[in-house]
Structure 1
Amino acid sequence: MASKALIFLALLFLSAASPKTAIAETNEEDKPGLAMDFYKDTCPQAEDIIKEQVKLLYKRHKNTAFSWLRNIFHDCAVESCDASLLLDSTRRSLSEKETDRSFGLRNFRYLDTIKEAVERECPGVVSCADILVLSARDGIVSLGGPHIPLKTGRRDGRKSRAEVLEQYLPDHNESISVVLDRFAAMGINTQGVVALLGAHSVGRTHCVKLVHRLYPEVDPVLNPDHVEHMLHKCPDAIPDPKAVQYVRNDRGTPMVLDNNYYRNILDNKGLLIVDHQLATDKRTKPHVKKMAKSQDYFFKEFARAITILSENNPLTGDEGEIRKQCNVANKHH
């Protein structure tokens, strides 16, 4: 009799637990995610507004495109693509954009300009995370790069991730193995990493980041012809971080996202340690050589890697929020 009672209780427990388990599994499967043209019903003009604003801002301020390209890396690579990068510091937490690893990031006010334009059309609908990603996509086009179809539907995080930033963002002085491992954790393979670093084809590197290759002695692996130019641009062994002292990443086509970067680093003209290692490490060199020969191959792998990066662990559905202002969580607004 006792054993029958136990069996009955076990069956009763299973019958009560099963529906909950099924519901949990269904909820996980049905969890809303990213989608192409996510705002087609709620704000059909959103992507056009963002694209137009990017074009206008780029026309007035060419360097905005470099900033938007860096933003997608600095935001999406750190745990989640949730616009945590854009939050200002508060009394309780330091913002990501004010850490040493974010040195040189700027032009956030122009993202606010885009957000304001979108808000006028559709208040409280489009996330700052999506604006950050789409402005990077359209900025890439402004620089002569490929148009990359990207999904939307991200929501905004409520807190900065400054305290974990260095666990995710590789530094320019770290080994290529560390760089490959960090990106592999996001699902980006070796050729994807090589392609993403092709973003160094545009923009500039502040002297603070490269003087260790010039002083007290010049790094012997640097191309001597390029050293003269670097020394001219960075004449001080301890440059003022607030001074505008920098070297263009690519002297040939500094405003164009192209495969010239790969030819430069194969010629020992890479500014950063990671550039040099990319061209010499046996895991990455074959892809560097292939991208140096074929811009189509570079663009193909670049587009694939940006897509994976943009979809890194986003907040969706009822997670997070839609910020009213990109630099402040709603509870502080």
Structure 2
Amino acid sequence: MAIKSRHCCTSFIFLLLPLLLQFYSAESDLQLNYYAHSCPNAEEIIKQQVIKLYNKHGNTAVSWVRNLFHDCVVKSCDASLLLETVSGIESEQKSDRSFGMRNFKYVKTIKDALEAECPMTVSCADIVSLSARDGIVLLGGPRIEMKTGRKDSKGSYLSEVKSSIPNHNDSIQSVLSRFQSIGIDTQGTVALLGAHSVGRVHCVNLVHRLYPTVDPTLDPDYAEYLKGRCPSPDPDPEAVLYSRNDRETPMILDNMYYKNLLKHKGLLMIDQELTSDPTTSTFVEKMAADNGYFHDQFARAVVLLSENNPLTGDEGEIRKDCRFVNSD
């Protein structure tokens, strides 16, 4: 009887094993140094290209971080964001959630350097992730160990962008809910919003806090400064009308963002709401007090974001040109 029982347990384990392997396959296909044999210099090539582009166009570093967020939060980290509108594909870049995004053309610069070294080997999805990693370092942020092995999608998801990417005036609870749906907890979400420490915001996304009346949660002096940057309640979206996210360290990814929030100098509604919601305010205070803590939580959250539902194995392709799916 005992022998029969052991036989049944063994049979059950063998039946269960394929299911377990299937469940963990996507995660296990991502690994550190995925290109160690197929393209040993891949990560160094990306790093050097990111540095060159940063030295020539400093704002590219911010673009790489934003690309990671906009790509990975929509369905998967699969470079669908990079696809241009062609027959059968509508680019995610057409969404109003992509307003102000730029420097996509320089992704081709990075991809061309990789293709010259290792043709059809390194995915555009991994370029999105690794360029963000290297851009974060150039912005004074933490060095993040990031797995690779992603494949590229064969389609875009324009129709899903609005439901996937939070808007600047969404409630903090809806933002937390969205991030939790992809495995990022509250303190990770608060840390990711710290990316607003760098870059700038167009007046189109600011004027509702200034006109017809000033948002009472804004510091009055700061509100006057913003009115100087955005003098009209109806700014031209094509005009150069911006305010820096952080006036003191505008191109450094640091905890000045959280210090500003505590002074009622949050630029966007979603920023300032972090201090008024009890589920997030404690983390704001901790990150404002400790830049190392902010960096640790930011690094952890970026890894979780970068590993959201990747395409691996035969699920996608390696695009030759990140702007277009491969022709059959």
Taking structure 1 as the reference length, the TM-score comes to 0.92
**Unaligned runs of at least 5 residues, structure 1:** 1-17
Residue 179 of structure 1 pairs with residue 154 of structure 2: no
Other-structure match for 2:242: 246
Equivalents in 2 of 1:119, 1:96: separation in Å? Answer: 25
Q: CA RMSD in A?
A: 1.7
The residue type equivalent to 2:81 in the other structure is L
Maintained 8 Å contact 2:82/2:322: yes
Q: Which amino acid aligns with 1:196?
A: L
Counting aligned pairs with the same residue, the percent is 57
2:108 pairs with one of 107, 112, 116: 112
Q: Which residue of the partner structure matches residue 260 of structure 1?
A: 256
Q: 1:273 to 1:44 in 2, by over 3 A?
A: same
Q: What SS does the corresponding residue of 1:247 show, helix, strand or coil?
A: strand
User: 1:60-82: per-residue Cα shift (whole Å, max 9, x none)?
Assistant: 00000110010000000011000
Greater Rg over alpha carbons, structure = 1
CA distance in 1, matches of 2:72, 2:225: 34
Residue correspondence of structure 1 range 49-60 to structure 2 within 5 A:
49-60=45-56
Shift of residue 236 of structure 1? Answer: 1.0
Cα distance in structure 1, aligned partners of 2:23 and 2:69? 28
User: How far apart are residue 25 of structure 1 and its match?
Assistant: 3.1
**Displacement of 1:92:** 3.2
TM-score by length of structure 2 reads 0.93
Cα separation, partners in 2 of 1:153 and 1:215, compared to 1, 3 Å: same
| Amino acid corresponding to residue 28 of structure 1 in structure 2 | Q
Which runs of no fewer than 5 residues in structure 2 stay unpaired? 1-11
2:243 is paired with a residue whose SS is strand
Question: What amino acid is aligned across from residue 47 of structure 1 in structure 2?
Answer: E
- 2:7 matched to which residue of 1? none
* Counterpart-to-counterpart distance in 2, 1:263 and 1:218: 21
Residue 97 of structure 1 and its aligned partner are, at CA, apart by 1.0
Q: Distance in 1 between matches of 2:223 and 2:174?
A: 27
Separation in 2, partners of 1:191, 1:129: 26
Match of 1:142 in 2: 138
Q: The residue matched to 1:205 in structure 2 has which SS? A: strand
CA distance in 2 between counterparts of 1:27 and 1:116 reads 35
Shift of 1:30: 7.4
How far the C-alpha of 1:168 sits from its partner, in A, is: 1.2
SS in structure 1 at match of 2:279: coil
Q: Counterpart in 1 of 2:3?
A: none
1:216 to 199, 212, 216: 212
